[in-house]
Amino acid sequence: MKPGSEVHLEDVIENSECVNALTQDDFTLIVDARGVKSITKDAREHFSVKGRSSRCLSIVIIVDFHLSRMIANFYIGFAKPALPVKLFNDETNAIDWPNTWEVTK
């Protein structure tokens, strides 16, 4: 996500369509949310993957130590995603995390 962006439902729907067009396999979604200014309630609900089908098995969110961490924690606490979500401060650990646990869907 672009630093300073205000993320809306239309943005995450477009993002989901693009990601789903890239592969027919199940995947972990890695979101770089560093510097994101805000994300709407509707967008958070869409990212929660509740009530809709998705090949996304888990979500990794890369955050900084400021606003994006607060936004991500707010998302996890209130949206209660239907799949595992983990926050990271750096790309290396974020990319490795899906390989450290077994996914059952």
Q: What is the pLDDT of residue 101?
A: 60
Q: Are 29 and 59 in contact (CB under 8 A)?
A: yes
| CA atoms lying within 13 Å on the CB side of residue 90 | 3
* 78: its two tokens: 């209130």
Q: In the block, which residue shows the tokens 């477009």?
A: 14
Supply the pTM of this predicted model: 0.75
Q: Are 16 and 22 in contact (CB under 8 A)?
A: no
Structural domain boundaries in the chain: 6-100
pLDDT per position in the chain (105 positions), as tens?
Answer: 788 889 999 998 998 888 888 888 888 888 888 878 888 889 888 888 887 777 888 888 888 877 667 777 777 777 788 888 888 988 888 888 877 765 444
